[in-house]
Amino acid sequence: MIAIDGPAASGKTTTARLVAQRLGYLHIDTGAMYRAITLRVLEEKIPLSEIDRIGDLAEKTQVHLEPFDSTNKVFVDGRDVTREIRSLAVTRSVSLVSSYQAVRDVLVREQRRMAKRGGVVLEGRDIGTVVLPNADLKIYMVARVSERVKRRKVEIESTGEVVELARLEQEILERDRFDSSRKASPLTKARDALELDTSDLTIEEQVQFVVDQARMVIGQRER
């Protein structure tokens, strides 16, 4: 079991996907699960302050990740929402929804169930600290803000949406601040995690680093 955590746009999803592909593991994007619940909250027009109603909705919503083309397709109650969960509206509300313990309880339970079979790469904010404290390898991925903003801009613009660099930077920093300072499972580096700064690395280099580390711990376990 590999845990990858880190702030927004630090390279987790790309890295987790490719590492999983190389090791023949299953990639589980836990952020996509929080986004899926947030999408349902917005669709139901539940005010973001109504914690109990959001908790109830999370409890009765089926979030399902399906491996597809080495990424995750995301389904809520059987409906494919893979694209919708990346919208700016979801991105702007997801941190608040994710800060509610009731939402986390539901999703963490599901994440642990999926991880039980082993051979998984989970990525998120609390994987090494809360979801899988006994993961074989924990990576805490960081990158310079300017780099993260650039990467996210390219990603967003590839979907046809337009974003202003300064606003994007402000939103990324705000989300990181909120995720790091919340009471329920804040974003923080696990004590036994390896920190990987991807600012000046190519995707190939960051993937290779994690794969090498994984092979080392897997090798040690099998010896």
Q: Which residues bind ligand CDP (CB under 6 A)?
A: 8-9, 13, 30-31, 34-35, 94-95, 98, 124-126, 175, 179
Residue nearer to ligand CDP on the CB measure, 94 or 106: 94
Residue nearer to ligand CDP on the CB measure, 113 or 221: 113
Beta bridge partners, 120, equal 26
Q: Are 187 and 176 in contact (CB under 8 A)?
A: yes
**CA dihedral angle for residue 123, residue 127, residue 132, residue 133, rounded to 10 degrees:** 140
DSSP string, 53-104: HHHHHHHH--EEEEEETTEEEEEETTEE-TTGGGSHHHHHHHHHHHT-HHHH
Residue nearer to ligand CDP on the CB measure, 23 or 143: 143
The torsion angles phi and psi of 31, rounded to 5 degrees, stand at -60, -35
Shortest distance in whole angstroms from residue 128 CB to ligand CDP: 10
Residue nearer to ligand CDP on the CB measure, 13 or 71: 13
Shortest distance in whole angstroms from residue 219 CB to ligand CDP: 28
